[in-house]
Chains A and B, each alone.
Chain A
Amino acid sequence: EPEVTQTPSHQVTQMGQEVILRCVPISNHLYFYWYRQILGQKVEFLVSFYNNEISEKSEIFDDQFSVERPDGSNFTLKIRSTKLEDSAMYFCASSVDSGPGNTIYFGEGSWLTVV
């Protein structure tokens, strides 16, 4: 079964450093997402991306965050200057469309630790 793949699975970075998390969505999917889960808390929506532009973003997704689809297969999340509170599991996800009955498929996550 096709799946969303994410790299790295775990990254430790120093506060203030830039981080890029990478994702390869399912190949025929057109909508891409990033979610995050701070340890012990709920999964939160960050951003959705369609047709090479952001379609929706949450309050969490401030100017420190950016997303990009640099080629036909990858979808990246960049955090420019990491803070301690950015430590979380970051999930990439994708879907075929955004209509009713749409199913969003998640990757296994990238665990980011900011020290």
Chain B
Amino acid sequence: GNSVTQMEGPVTLSEEAFLTINCTYTATGYPSLFWYVQYPGEGLQLLLKATKADDKGSNKGFEATYRKETTSFHLEKGSVQVSDSAVYFCALFTGGGNKLTFGTGTQLKVEL
């Protein structure tokens, strides 16, 4: 079956630090990969996605590259801000399953 593994949180960083949140997956078929973000008190918002190997999704300074050889989709940002504090969810989608499979989420706290 499908599964997503994310690094444990919380991750606490100082503003302007470099961020990496690791995500690896197992899937039947050829999944599309997503990062969703949940800001405090809000719902899930799509942050970025990649649909095929070597694709790089990017948005708001965040980026992630679909690595088929390592079955990974790590999220990175060069310089985080306090406003980036949120829970980040890695997810995969396979058309046959018609559903998203989420990781457990990684809480990011950015401090001044």
Contacts and interface: CB of A to CB of B under 8 A. Distances in A.
Interface in A62-109: 91, 98-109
Contact of A98 (B44, B45, B95): B95
Interface residues of A, number: 27
A28 interface: no
A106 B43 contact: yes
Interface residues of B, number: 24
A18 interface: no
A26 to B, nearest CB: 13
Contacts, number: 60
Contacts of A98: 95, 98
B32 A101 contact: yes
A7 B28 CA distance: 35
B98 A56 contact: yes
23 contacts: A6-B43, A35-B100, A43-B89, A43-B91, A45-B100, A48-B98, A48-B99, A50-B98, A56-B97, A56-B99, A98-B98, A100-B32, A100-B51, A100-B95, A101-B32, A102-B32, A102-B95, A103-B49, A104-B46, A104-B100, A106-B36, A106-B46, A107-B43
Interface of A: 6, 31, 33, 35, 41-45, 48, 50, 55-56, 58, 91, 98-109
